Amino acid sequence: MRSTIAGLAAATMLFAAGAQAYPGMEKQAQKQVQSSVDLISVLPKPFPIEAVAFKDSEGASVDFSQYKGKVIMVNMWATWCPPCVRELPAISRFSAKIGSDDFEVLPVSIDLEGNKQVEPFLKSLGMEDFNTYYDKEQKLGNVFPLDTIPATFILNREGELIAFVRTFVDWDDDKAVTLIKSFLEQPKLQSKVSATAD
């Protein structure tokens, strides 16, 4: 109960101080959704993201600049969020499904007690090998709106936001693999175009 109240309080604080909206975040016309992957919004153009620090499991500072050159999928989650927990096993499998060294999945817990709370929770799920990061101060709320979780933000090789979704997604869906692979191919296509233009 205490963690649920703390989680709701944290969500309220994030909503009040949340990140600014990105181009393409305005309410879209209703479209028919056949897959939860269809809920992912691809931005009309990449949006620069400030490098905000969060922590790895050892407490070392990490930020997105360390992943330049890779497409990264940042998944914001918490132990008190049932849809977040429901996503975790598929997120754990997702990176292997993509099968690329140029892709990184970064699950980031916003639990207020950090790894002290998360590690026993993951162990209780039989997911003690699940690699998560931590943002108990919720600093990422400065660049990502975190009033709703689970929330996933996809950054291109330059560290710019290119897509996001603020709800549960079935990451085992083949459409998710196809979408990420299309993002992985984009810079290669751009380099080929500039190489032929020279």
Convert 117-132 to b/e letters by CB count within 10 Å (16 or more is b): bbeebbeeeeeeebeb
- The pLDDT, as a whole number, for residue 116 is 93
Q: Please give the angle made by the CA atoms of 18, 20 and 21, to the nearest 5 degrees.
A: 115
For residues 185 and 20, the model is more confident at 185
Banded pLDDT at 100 (limits 50, 70, 90):
confident
Q: What is the Cβ-side half-sphere exposure of residue 35, based on CA atoms within 13 angstroms?
A: 13
Q: What is the Cβ-side half-sphere exposure of residue 115, based on CA atoms within 13 angstroms?
A: 14
90 burial via Cβ count (<10 Å: 0-12, 13-18, 19+): middle
Mean pLDDT, range 45-69, rounded to an integer: 93
User: Are residues 43 and 75 in contact, defined by beta-carbon separation less than 8 angstroms?
Assistant: no
How far is Cα 19 from Cα 16, in angstroms, rounded to an integer?
A: 9
Question: Scanning the structure block, which residue is given the tokens 């990105």?
Answer: 22
User: Are residues 76 and 110 in contact, defined by beta-carbon separation less than 8 angstroms?
Assistant: yes
Measuring CA to CA, how many Å separate 62 from each of 133, 193, 198?
Answer: 9, 33, 38
- The pLDDT, as a whole number, for residue 8 is 43
Mean pLDDT, range 102-129, rounded to an integer: 94
Residue 65 has pLDDT above 90, yes or no: yes
The region of weakest confidence among 31-35, 115-119, 131-135, 175-179 is 31-35
- Structure tokens given for 88: 């975790």
- Structure tokens given for 52: 């905000």
Residue 27 has pLDDT above 70, yes or no: no
Q: Please give the angle made by the CA atoms of 33, 184 and 60, to the nearest 5 degrees.
A: 100
pLDDT digits (tens, 9 = 90+) for 140-157: 999 998 899 999 999 999
